[in-house]
Amino acid sequence: MAADDVTPRLTHLDAAGAAHMVDVSEKAVTRREARARGVFRTTPEVIALIGSGGHRKGDVLAVARIAAIMGAKRTAELIPLCHPLPLDSVDVEFAPGTDAVTVTATAVTTGKTGVEMEALTAVTVAGLTLHDMVKAVDPAATMTDVALQRKTGGRSGDWTRDGEPHDSAEPAAPAAGIVDIHPGRRARIIVSSTRIAAGERTDATGPILREWLSQHGFDVAEPVIVADADITAAVTAALADRPSLLITTGGTGPTSDDHTPEATAPHLTTTLPGIAEALRETGRSSTPYSSLSRGLAGFAGRTLVVNLPGSRGGVRDGIKVLDPLIVHLFHLAGGGGHD
């Protein structure tokens, strides 16, 4: 499997080239913000009317601001493949100049997909409303340069348009695309299943994890498949190689054959119980049996170790939990601070 296949693709087209709505059910719920900007160009006379409140239609900017917020709320009804989002806030600012008004809209959500389109829609609707308000005086007015300026949150990380200043409280954004994990980190996967080791079943978890880790720039070896009784030796051997990350699947349940937590616990120098609880909580949205998992998470020296269930759904839930955390975890493991 190619670890560096990051060919850009249009996410709203399926393998056959047909338009479809992207499935975001497995993405993490995180805070996301987007800022867009556009320039409404008119005449100095119109700018004077807007500033003095002398326009016969009333407060031009107030009407445009309300329209922009309403437009952001209706984005999913206007753009066919956009997901409906619960907007936490929409802020619209106007900066009048000599013969133009710069419109800036910032949209915020806590959700599974970004708010870029909501911010862009707010700016566009504000421009349309400004045109409607002034067209009797200046029918030649135009709305130009509508563009996304920056976005934060989500799997693709933060992005800022060249020339746009960063907020002083936030670090500079990495390039959009694959999350900023240094390539060359080694990851190991162990699958604990007596039936798979005996050839009675096919492993469905290792390939999912290997693809995900490869997309993040990890050097990922073939998953090691062992019988449940051999998991202790397998974990010990894997950690002796000092990989950056060790993920196990299977053997986390309450039966007498499930030994993965016991194989993991003696090696952990720092436990991360919050991750283990998040894994169980995320799984409960799909099955109540998630509560039966005894999986652990923590650092064994500088190796991050995570126990995942032995099902495809459990692994996908694990990816949902780990994806927004993994960059920061390795930052901390490397001696970085919390800022």
Query: What is the mean pLDDT of the segment spanning 195-213?
Result: 94
C-beta separation of 224 from 190 below 8 A: yes
Q: Return the closest-CA partner of residue 32 out of 124, 125, 118.
A: 118
Q: How confident is the model at residue 289 (pLDDT cuts 50, 70, 90)?
A: confident
Which structural domains are found in the chain, ordered by start? 30-157 (3.30.70.640), 186-334 (3.40.980.10)
Which of 157-171, 189-203, 205-219 has the weakest average pLDDT? 157-171
Say if residue 255's pLDDT is above 90: yes
Say if residue 315's pLDDT is above 50: yes
pLDDT for residue 277 = 94
pLDDT for residue 11 = 73
How far lies 305's CA from each of 175, 238, 248, 273, 296, in Å?
28, 11, 8, 12, 8
pLDDT for residue 337 = 59
The answer to the question of whether 20 is labelled as a binding residue is no
C-beta separation of 220 from 187 below 8 A: yes
CA 139/CA 265 separation, integer angstroms: 72
pLDDT for residue 128 = 98
Say if residue 35's pLDDT is above 90: yes
Query: What is the mean pLDDT of the segment spanning 223-244?
Result: 96
**DSSP-assigned letters across all residues of 263-299:** HHGGG-SEE-HHHHHHHHHHHHTT-GGGGG----EEE
Percent of the chain with pLDDT over 70: 85
- Tens of pLDDT, residue by residue over 90-114, are 999 999 999 999 999 999 998 889 9
Which of 51-60, 210-219, 263-272 has the weakest average pLDDT? 51-60
Query: What is the mean pLDDT of the segment spanning 274-279?
Result: 94
pLDDT for residue 155 = 66
Say if residue 2's pLDDT is above 70: no
Q: How many CB atoms lie within 10 A of CB 114?
A: 24
The answer to the question of whether 77 is labelled as a binding residue is no
- Residue 131 burial (C-beta neighbours within 10 Å; 0-12, 13-18, 19+): middle
Q: 328: Cβ–Cβ under 8 A, 6 or more apart, which residues?
A: none
Instruction: Tell me the catalytic residues.
Output: 132
pLDDT for residue 279 = 92
pTM over 0.95: no
Say if residue 137's pLDDT is above 60: yes
pLDDT for residue 23 = 85
Say if residue 3's pLDDT is above 50: no
The answer to the question of whether 82 is labelled as a binding residue is yes
The answer to the question of whether 118 is labelled as a binding residue is yes
Q: How confident is the model at residue 177 (pLDDT cuts 50, 70, 90)?
A: very low
Q: How confident is the model at residue 7 (pLDDT cuts 50, 70, 90)?
A: low
Query: What is the mean pLDDT of the segment spanning 115-135?
Result: 97
